[in-house]
Amino acid sequence: MAQHPYPNQPGSFTPPPDSIQAHYGARFKSRIKTPALCLIICTILSLVMMVGAIGASVIRITTGIEPVPPPPSSFRHLSAQDPDYVRMKGVINLVSCTVIFSLQCLVLFGAIQMYRLKSYGFAMTANILCLIPCISPCCIIGIPFGIWGLTALSSQNAKSFFR
């Protein structure tokens, strides 16, 4: 009768769970830190651009003048010189940029938690938010990093390495 090549027989060596987790934990950490770091860098760049967009919206609201005049062909019905139109456009931009800014702050927080292996829930949330094109850091550049992070977080026993 042939025996199984990996039986749990008395006298066979089974490494303690701490050494298994230490070995695989180091391997998992190296696998998870790269997409987390890419998300952190991409999100910081995106947040800087959002601050500029929020600033442009504030200029539109307070002055009623476009920071950068648009091409004339894009305004058929409304004049770019109309201060009410420019202020309305500034308010809409300010609201949308503020919502996107706050969601990207959540992505940054989740990416930092993912890098530190602290909160599995926030790490998953950050990577899922990266799959939404308008919320993803740097528009669509963050989508591959979100997929990469989700792939790493969905691996077997990934949740057990988070504190």
Taking only the tens place, the pLDDT of each residue in 93-135 is 999 999 999 999 999 999 999 999 899 999 999 999 999 988 8
Predicted confidence (pLDDT) per residue in 41-99, tens digit: 999 999 999 999 999 899 988 988 777 766 666 555 556 567 888 888 889 999 999 99
Q: What is the pTM of this model?
A: 0.76
Q: For residue 112, give both structure tokens.
A: 């930092």
Other CB atoms closer than 10 Å to residue 48's CB: what's the count? Answer: 9
Q: For residue 26, with 0-12 CB atoms within 10 Å meaning exposed, 13-18 middle and 19 or more buried, which class applies? A: exposed
